Structure formats: structure tokens, C-alpha cells
Structure 1
Amino acid sequence: MTFPRVKTSDNPVALVIEMVAERRHAKTNAFWYKENGELLSVLRALDWPVQGADLRPYDDAGAKLLPLLRFFPQYYRLILGFSYDLNVLSGTPHAAQPVAAWAEQSGLAAKELSDVARVEADFLIDRALNRPQAGSGHATRLQAFCENSDAFRLPDRAAAYSLTHMVFYATDYGRKPMAQNENIRRSLIHAGLVAWLDQDMDILAEVVLALRFSEAAVPDLWANAVLRAASDVFCGSQAAAGADDFHEMLMLNWAAGQLGGRAFAFDMPHDATTFHRPERGPSALQELSAQLFALGDQRRGDWGVMRWRLWPALSEPAQARLAEVEAWPEFTAFFQGFARADLGVAA
């Protein structure tokens, strides 16, 4: 099915808000708060000039946040994030502080099993109540986690996601300064190398943002790749909203805006419900991993030694992907860990 195409250049975000708020999930669905909260968070981070009329799809939801939280306390982090960003963007009270106060008084953060979830909860509550973030034991543990660059030399999307989000929370999504930290920078580069070799533009966009927010240089290769990928977004009308590339679209456009490019510069058909990007090409990461595993005990952690054995077995796209980063100073240490020569396994 095809639709008349509508240029979004005049007010692209109004159309994106309408689509995400009205045509993807019911407002009783937790995914509605997740996606709309993420969208509003990105718009606030970009200082996007949202007009009051653009936010009308949120009028009913904004007025019901406290009753909603009391009935669905398990979704408190989604509701807290949505509440605060809607409040800031609209300039009108939408229960951000009462929602945060109720969440704190109910001890919801203390029930989290994950350190990352507890740090996020503390960040959201402190931000909504307009008070400085207090240090905690789980924050100290996560600092050590972020500084352990060796841990990010293997594919682990959850770990990479946690790493970038720790930077996001520490900087309030780029609004607060963060002292340069070489160990965290190296961790981000390692996570970015995994994403680059796997053509995972969702994680790569987050790495680019985290590097920028942590006062570290963003490699031109990655910045240009993110800008190109953001321009590749297109919309569709498939019924399965939530199984598409919504999050990748959002991260790419956020990163594009932070890099000085155009955010949300895609066209949108009438009645579109989904976001998409072209299918990924071959994964150099998977090809490299398969060849390393096949070598068994002959694996070595020295790229200079292993390159001549691995290169002929890789596809041309994989070779091209590797060729763009193999001379980076961080690649030597990255490959040493990725090869897993000392562990006797590769996956």
C-alpha cells in the first residue's frame, strides 16, 4: 500500500509526535509511555522548539499521571521520565513533582534488582524534585563498571546500553558537564568498535552521543556514518508497531542533531505507523568471530600476527569495514580481548 507523501520540513516533529502518540500503541499500554517518553526526552535534549499545539496529543495523559502511577507502580520509571519531559517542554504543570514525590515515598527505587535501574530511578526522582544527585553505593559500582574498558571488547548490547546511559544520566543528556575520563572514553571506543563492525547503528549512535557528552572526541568515521544513517530513515504502515526501528530512528536523529546535522528530516506518509532503515549489510563482527573460533588453539591476540590468516577468509564488505578502523590506536587492545586467545573460546 502506498500513501501520498507529506514533507516534514516545516514542522517535522509535530507529525512525529502525532504518529507516536496516536497511531502506534494504546495509551493504556506501557510501550506508549516508553516510546513517547523517549521521544520527549530527545526533543528536550535537542532544545527543540516544540509548540503548545504539537503537544495536544498528550493532554489527557498528562492530567492522569499520578493516578496512573498509583495503579501501575511497576512502570514508575517510564511515567517519571514522561512526566518530567512533558512538563519542561509544555511549560505547564503536569504533575512531575507529585509523581516523583510519590515514587520516592513509596520506596520504588529500593525494589530494583539492577544497579542501572536504581541509578536511573535516583536520577529521575532527583531531577524532577530539582535537587542535586546524591552519591550511592550502586553509583560507585557502576563507575567502576564504566571504567573497565576490557569488558566492552566483546559483543554485549546490554552492557553497551548501560555504559552509554550512565553517561546520559551523569550529564542529564548533555546538559551538564562531565569531567574527561580516559577509561570511560576507551570503554566507549571499544563498545563503538563492536557496533561498527556489526553495523549496529542504534548502539553506535548512543556511543557517539556519550562520547560527545563526556567531552571526548567523536571519530569522524562514526559521526559521518550516523549522519548518513539518520538520512536513511523511512516510514511505513505495517501494523506491528514496536517491532520496527523506532529506537534506532530516535537515537540516530538525536545524534544527528547533536552533531549539527538535520534531525527528523525524513518524509512521512499519511497514516504511517512504523519507522524503518535499510536492512543491515554483512556483519564483519560475526565473520571475524567465526574465523577466530575455527582457529581454536591457533588464535592469538595480536592483530598484526592474525591479520594475514583472517583476511583472506573475510568477505570484501567485512574487509572494508575492518580496514577503516584497524589502524586506530585502540584497535590493538580491542582485538586482543575480542580474540579471546587466553580463554580458549570465541563466540
Structure 2
Amino acid sequence: MTNIVSFAARRAARPAMGATGGLVSLLSGFATGRRRQGDAWWLKENAELLMVLSALHHDVPEAALAVYQPFHDGLEDQLAFHPQYYRMMLGVAVWLEDLGQPGDTAARMGARIASEGWIGMEVNDLQRAESRFLMARAGQAVDLPGLDARLTGFMSRPETFALPNPRAAYDLLHAVFYLSEYGRRPLHLPKAAQQSLHVLGNLAWLEQNGDLLGEVCIALRYAGLPVPPLWLGHLHRESAAFRIEAGVCEDSSDAYHNFLVNRWLMGTMGETAFGEDYPVGPMRFSLVRPLISPLREWSQALMALGGRREADYPAMRRACAGRLSPEALEIADGAMAEGPEFEAFFATFARPVLAHGAVRKGA
């Protein structure tokens, strides 16, 4: 494949930012204009925004951080009352102070979390990995023997990620984020884990899911792997399609997360991130998406074949063509021609059937 975007060539690049006033409006809108300050949705959105800015190593003006000062001052009391949210609260403190908020609140929170053993309440390795990473940023080393090996084992089963499974997709990508410390340290994944990222990227491409595809591309960057031009071109086109409007966000279904991921990716590529002029006060994000879902069309067409399903894409294209829109065919054909390891993805996605009726595992 030619024209692959090189991680090494771009790694030191710094993204361009919009005017200081734009960033002040953006952070103020998230801190005071979209959710009730301190509730779970507010913590999620603001932790994500601040994390992205930190991961991009941006210098955030004091005026942009000042809106968080009252919440930052009360974080330790919040933590004492809501220990179940300790990861999100610690994350907000870590990212704020990383971006220049004065104080050592994160260190004190980390010390309390360590002394009370709150990591012990976690039920899965991904949550433990996030806790370990945030605690390290807060100055608290956490020893979790075997964690990296278990995460690597999970990531190294590509067939897991060839079928729609939001939980598995989220865990794969965030394992990469935590192990690479959001791009702060080199990450050398085994070949099988690299294939998992490519397989998940093909699934996201077939779904035309820019949110998921953007995170896959960021994970590829953090793993030192090239970003396929096919995927990046789609995300560049989507980048220009976001609409940011003044007004209250009435529910959780707007496109803010797609927007954050898209700008995060552009920043990791050394391109402009958060360069818009944002409205003052509440804001909402929208993205016009195509009405068709190639992933759904392909799933339904393959299921209709019953025992005639095979792992071979050309054969299944011929068998399914009558049930597929031209767009669904074009998108899959593009992946076959330009996507990395599309055949490996399709070998599982097609769920080929053996003679006795059992579904054969993908190659």
C-alpha cells in the first residue's frame, strides 16, 4: 500500500490550535453549559475533553482553566462522598493539573485512593489498567502483577473484534491507550494484537462509524503503526462535516464524542485540532450521517445465505450482491482493495458454515 501516513515522521509534530478565545469558549461550554456540574455525564465529558488536550500536549490559557477552579477546589470532598466515581474524578484532577491548573489535589487524591485500597473494587482488568495509569500520573505507583500479560492476551485474539461487540472494541482500544500512556511511551504490540486493531478498523469502516474508526486510527498511531489512507480520507471528510451550534444539549445523543475523537486524531497527525470559533455558552454538536448501514446490510445478506456462507469475499460478494445497495458494495470493495487485512476480517465476519452446520472460526 502506498502513501501510508508514517507515525515516525509525524510523531514530534504539534497540532495547531484555534485562537485562545475559542478554547476558552470550548472549555467554558463543557464546564458550565452542557450538563449539571459534577454528575456522571459531566465527569465523563469533561474528563474526555481535558484528557484529549493533555494527550496533545497543549498549552491551555489560564482563562480557559479558570472555569474549573471551583470544582477543582472541591474535588477531595466530592471524592469522599462518591468513591464509586474515583477514576473519573481522579482523571479530571490529573488532566487539569497536567494542563496547568495550580495545586496538588491529584496527588492527595491518589494517596487516599491508595491508602483505602479502592482499586480493589474494580471487577475487570481494563478498569485496573486505567486506575494504575491515573495513579502513576498522580504520583502513586501501583503494582498489579500479570496485568499487562492478561491485557495482551485479550488483545491478541483478532477474531474477537471481527463481529460487532462495543464492549470488546472499547476494551481493546483503551488497553492500547493505557499501556501507551496515551502516546507518552512506545508500545510494541505482538503481531496478533496489531491484527486485532486492523480487524476492528475494518469493522468500523464497514459500519462507516467515524467515532470508532477514529479511535482505531489513534490506537494505531500510539502503537507505532501506519494509518491506512482509506480510513484517514473518510475521517478528513467527516472532520469538515461537524456542526457546532449554540444551544442546550437536551440529551446525551449529540455528536460531541465523535467530534472529540476526530480532533484528537487530527492533532496526533500534526494537523489543526480545535481550530473552530465556538459559541459562547451552551453548545451542541451534530454530524449528518448517511442513512444506509453497510454493516447491517452485509450482516443481513450473509445471514440469509444460511449454510452457503463462506470465508471468501469474492464468492460472498457474488452471492450477496442482489441483497446489497450499491453503497454497501462500494464500501466493502474499497476495504478489499485498500484496507489492511480485510480478508482476515471477512473470514470471521462472514461466519462460514461447515458441512455439518457449525460456524467455522475465521482464519
CA shift for structure 1 position 222: 1.1
Residue 47 of structure 2 corresponds to residue 20 of structure 1: no
Contact persistence 1:62–1:94 (CA under 8 A)? no
Tell me what 2:63 maps to: 53
RMSD: 1.9
Q: Does 1:219 align with 2:196?
A: no
Q: 1:139 aligned to 2:148?
A: yes
Return the match for 1:182 from 170, 191, 213: 191
CA gap 1:178/1:254 in 2 versus in 1, 3 angstroms: same
Other-structure match for 1:317: 327
Q: Per-residue deviation at 1:273?
A: 2.4
With over 3 angstroms needed to count, the CA separation of the structure-2 counterparts of 1:232 and 1:113, relative to structure 1, is same
Q: 1:174 to 1:285 in 2, by over 3 A?
A: same
Q: Residue 234 of structure 1: SS of its match in structure 2?
A: strand
What is aligned with 2:299? 289
The answer to whether the aligner puts 1:162 opposite 2:171 as a matched pair is yes
- Return the offset for 1:122: 1.6
User: With CA pairs under 8 Å and 6+ residues apart, which has the higher RCO, 1 or 2?
Assistant: 2
Q: Which amino acid aligns with 1:144?
A: G
TM-score (norm 2): 0.88
Matched pairs, number: 337
Pairwise CA distance, 1:126:
2.0
Q: Shift of residue 341 of structure 1?
A: 1.6
Aligned-pair CA distance for 1:229: 1.5
- Distance in 2 (CA, whole Å) between partners of 1:91 and 1:21 is 14
CA–CA distance in 1 between the matches of 2:280 and 2:136? 40
Q: CA deviation at 1:130?
A: 5.7
Question: Which residue in the other structure is 2:107 paired with?
Answer: 97
Q: 2: CA distance between counterparts of 1:114 and 1:310?
A: 39
Q: How does 1:298-337 map to 2 (within 5 A)?
A: 298-327=308-337, 328=339, 330-337=341-348
Deviates further, 139-148 or 70-79: 139-148
Equivalence for 1:172: 181
Alignment correspondent of 1:150: 159
* Other-structure match for 2:88: 78
Describe the shift of the 1:44–1:299 C-alpha distance in structure 2 as closer, same or farther (beyond 3 A): same
TM-score with structure 1 setting the length: 0.92
Write the letter of the residue equivalent to 2:352: A
Q: Does structure 2 retain, via aligned residues, the 8 Å contact 1:202–1:248?
A: yes
Alpha-carbon distance, 1:34 to partner: 1.5
Note the C-alpha offset of 1:231.
2.3
Q: Which moved more, 1:296-305 or 1:237-246?
A: 237-246
- What residue number does 1:40 align with? 50
- Separation in 1, partners of 2:103, 2:186: 27
Question: Of the candidates 337, 340, 350, which is equivalent to residue 339 of structure 1?
Answer: 350
Equivalents in 2 of 1:290, 1:115: separation in Å? 34
Would the aligned equivalents of 1:301 and 1:341 in 2 still touch at CA under 8 Å? Answer: yes
User: Is contact 1:233–1:277 with CA below 8 Å preserved after alignment?
Assistant: yes
Sequence identity (%)? 34
Q: Distance in 2 between matches of 1:260 and 1:30?
A: 32
